Structure 1
Amino acid sequence: MTKPNERLPFLDNAKLGMMFLVVYGHILEPSALAGSCRVASTVYFLIYCFHVPVWVFLAGITSKAKPSPRSLLGILCVLIVSQAVYFCFVGEMRRNFLRFLVTPWWALWFLLSLVLWKLMLPVFLRVRWALPVSVALALLAGCESHIGRAFSLSRTLAWFPLFFAGHLYGRGVLRVAARTPRFVKVSAVTTFAAAGIGLWFFPPPLQAIYEAQSYVVLGFSSVTAGIGFRALHLFVACALGFLALCLIPVGQNRFTKYGQRTLTMLVVHPLVLKILEARLLSHMGCSALMVVLCAVLAALVTWFSGAAVFHRAVTWIYRASSRTTSTS
């Protein structure tokens, strides 16, 4: 029996696996957005059906019922520094300063949402039927046209049920996933293959899978249609997410330690991909082989983004804010 604060190799392996999918999805993103490669788009859609929800679910597992101000400030400090670096790098600091202030750039939305989820958690722990209430809030949030990318509000509310469920039941889910027999793992692979075939013929609305904007902005014919899509997405995310966890290695291995560096990977990999975009990614063609090569590239970028030098820098930024608060 593991203690609540004990580190699980399975959890670190799962975090690393989802981080790889984050990077892989971002590498495929230009082709998916342009619609220039159907193979890449299908793989991209499949990844986005479950990898963000699982990532959020895992974050809920490691979150305490009462978050410390130091941890919240540390995350915000990493967010602010990363946001400034990226906006300077892409040259938007002067052109769009308001966006810099209110909208996290690319993958950085997760950091702001993480802070908000941690703040919401103790409140919802006091609410009766809190999990159904969080689901209802997630579905109704899309009805408000002003809830969107600003301050990452749409994603925060849309994915909070997964974060809350992770906090409540996450370790139990991991125990079940770790003990699944081989036929379940085979069924999981078969299910993912079937889902890929389905997405090939019936691709979902591209912008809708991000859950970053309201139903009106996304162009749904009615609020009911938007609620139905988000409810279906949550259901599919839970089903595919559990099957994905069943395929994750359970025990300690040579890569497990990198699962403890996913915060570093999250903030470093977008800069790496931006550098590669002009030199490499924009020149890649469209084929099944290209999609496979992108997976290899994603593994390399994930590993490089978690290098010790980057991890020490991000950890220093995270802890510097804590030292500031402790001495003030």
Structure 2
Amino acid sequence: MSPRDFRIDRAKGILIFLVVLGHLLARTSPWESPILGAPMYFIYMFHMPAFVFLAGITAKSNKLAERVLTYFVLLATVLPLMWVWMWVFGLDPDYSLLTPFWYTWFLLSMAWWMITVPFIERFPRTMLVASLVLGLFGGMLPILDTELSAARTMAFWPFFVFGKLYGKQIISWAGSLAIWQKLCLSAAALGTVGYFYLDQVDHHWLYGSLNFAHFDVSVPEGVGLRLIVDIGAVLLMLALLSWLSDTKDTIATIGRHSLAVYILHGFVVRGLEPILDDSRDVLHDAVVLLICVALAVVWTGVLSWGPFERALRWYSSTVTGLLLKPFPFLRPKDVEGHGGGGTGRGAAADPGAGAAAAAHDQGAFDRAAFDRADGPGDAYCPGESHHPGNAYSEGDGPDRQGLGLQPLPGVGYQHSPGYEQQPGQQQSYASPAPIAAEPYPLPGSHEVPQNNATYETTQEVPAGAAQRAVRYRRLPVYLSGDADR
């Protein structure tokens, strides 16, 4: 398994801090203040698109039902708890059954994006074009808005698709830039933010949650503004990635635990809301900004504590496992080569492997989809790769080559009919005793003379192919000494 790329963790650590800071500042009515408005434009220009981009990098299609359901479990858990929490503090949760409350939109959007992962892997170009079209022109649809997080799902979907298809290459490219190139990229990114800030562009464009009709703009104007917002997000994201080093530090640890920070920080922010609402009446805006920065630093560090992350993952994995237990067909075993430690159909031929698989199904839920998945708190695991287009998943067929699979003891061709060990040599296929001057017919081919023929060892095949050994038995390789052949 390749080493962990801590640039992704560090990027997530910085972004989750900006999420906490942005939500704290939002309680102070910052858009009306020149001092508080500048960091708000900077944060909301790119922090969620960048998070979606990183989520696309770590998105995988294996165990898809578990991954998608985990987001719904978290959403269904956070919403009632948040409503009760706000009722305790005398706040109005502005309840709507079809509209995710506040920051929970991301959990619902992640579920929709995860559903598209198999299609992205199967039809990468088509899905890339579709995401760009919906991202830019989706605001034309009058029926899709904040309901079911539809508008944001479409607006940020291109970042998810780009992350899935080209994320690792983009991070490597950004990190390889020269210092002067990084400075130019950063200047261009800040220039885009400055345009929005100085021109006082409606900040709701940065949310991506409203269609064009809410802004009373024409379709060309709406598409143009959406394109400018996306360009600004890309420039800021690339600028951030270009300055990150592959170093394991506190920021990387926070990034690894960003799921807990994302879920829990909302309760902290809403608990502080009564104080933050009136802060600008008694304090200067600069002081309010410093207080919010200090609160964001403290609470980001506190909520990234390991037990919070483990408890949240245990809860989500346990509930998801219980919900999927009556539907075993929705929890297929991992294929060897995906790095997930699961077993395919071929491994079932080995009693030890079958027992291990049964123990896995009866045991813990593999720490849910988030252990190797996506979203703000995913654990990035480069070693678990996906092989799109592999038509022989789960061990089907004889042609799964190049995956580094070795047969297990007790299974494979060495136990199939027609195979025996020859004295004084390694494993080989022994042909039937030849009859003098008679050819040995090879099934499915022309007859080959037996004179001076030698037979080499055949290629090993994946474990678990014993039940199909006769059907898929590879033929010996005929090596002739005749130079004319």
Q: TM-score, normalised by structure 1?
A: 0.89
Check conservation: 1:46, 1:199, Cα contact below 8 A.
no
Equivalences for residues 262-301 of structure 1 within 5 A: 262-280=258-276, 282-284=278-280, 285-301=283-299
Letter aligned with residue 272 of structure 1: V
Check conservation: 1:31, 1:37, Cα contact below 8 A.
no
Measured in 2, the distance between the counterparts of 1:96 and 1:189 equals: 38
Check conservation: 2:144, 2:150, Cα contact below 8 A.
yes
Matched residue SS, 1:104:
coil
- Name the residue aligned to 1:9: 6
- Answering whether residue 17 of structure 2 is matched by residue 20 of structure 1, we say yes
Letter aligned with residue 315 of structure 1: R
- Answering whether residue 209 of structure 2 is matched by residue 212 of structure 1, we say yes
Equivalences for residues 231-270 of structure 1 within 5 A: 231-270=227-266
Check conservation: 2:212, 2:219, Cα contact below 8 A.
yes
What are the Cα deviations for residues 214-263 of structure 1, in whole angstroms up to 9, with x where unaligned? 1102x232122111111221122112211121233431113312211111
- Name the residue aligned to 1:141: 138
* Structure 1 pair 195–326 and aligned structure 2 pair: CA distance change class (3 A): closer
Q: Tell me by how many angstroms 1:211 deviates.
A: 0.7
More displaced stretch, 309-318 vs 58-67: 309-318
Aligned counterpart for 2:220 among listed residues 224, 227, 231: 224
Matched residue SS, 2:27:
helix
Measured in 2, the distance between the counterparts of 1:276 and 1:78 equals: 23
- Name the residue aligned to 1:150: 147
Aligned alpha-carbon RMSD (Å): 2.4
Check conservation: 1:216, 1:223, Cα contact below 8 A.
no
More displaced stretch, 183-192 vs 12-21: 183-192
Q: Tell me by how many angstroms 1:185 deviates.
A: 3.6
Letter aligned with residue 320 of structure 1: T
Aligned counterpart for 2:177 among listed residues 151, 176, 180: 180
Q: Tell me by how many angstroms 1:123 deviates.
A: 2.2
Equivalences for residues 24-43 of structure 1 within 5 A: 24-32=21-29, 35-43=31-39
Letter aligned with residue 288 of structure 2: M
Check conservation: 1:28, 1:294, Cα contact below 8 A.
yes
What are the Cα deviations for residues 142-173 of structure 1, in whole angstroms up to 9, with x where unaligned? 11111111111110011111000000000111
Measured in 2, the distance between the counterparts of 1:85 and 1:325 equals: 20
Check conservation: 2:27, 2:276, Cα contact below 8 A.
no
Q: Tell me by how many angstroms 1:16 deviates.
A: 1.0
- Name the residue aligned to 1:322: 320
* Structure 1 pair 207–244 and aligned structure 2 pair: CA distance change class (3 A): same
Aligned counterpart for 1:307 among listed residues 302, 305, 322: 305
Letter aligned with residue 260 of structure 1: R
Q: TM-score, normalised by structure 2?
A: 0.61
More displaced stretch, 141-150 vs 117-126: 117-126
Structure with greater helix percent = 1
- Name the residue aligned to 1:60: 56
Letter aligned with residue 208 of structure 2: E
Q: Tell me by how many angstroms 1:82 deviates.
A: 0.7
* Structure 1 pair 295–195 and aligned structure 2 pair: CA distance change class (3 A): farther
Give the structure, 1 or 2, with the largest relative contact order (CA under 8 Å, sep 6 or more): 1
- Answering whether residue 83 of structure 2 is matched by residue 87 of structure 1, we say yes
More displaced stretch, 145-154 vs 118-127: 118-127
Check conservation: 1:185, 1:243, Cα contact below 8 A.
yes
Structure 1 gap segments, 5+ residues each: none
User: Identity across aligned pairs (percent)?
Assistant: 25
Number of matched pairs: 320
Letter aligned with residue 108 of structure 1: T
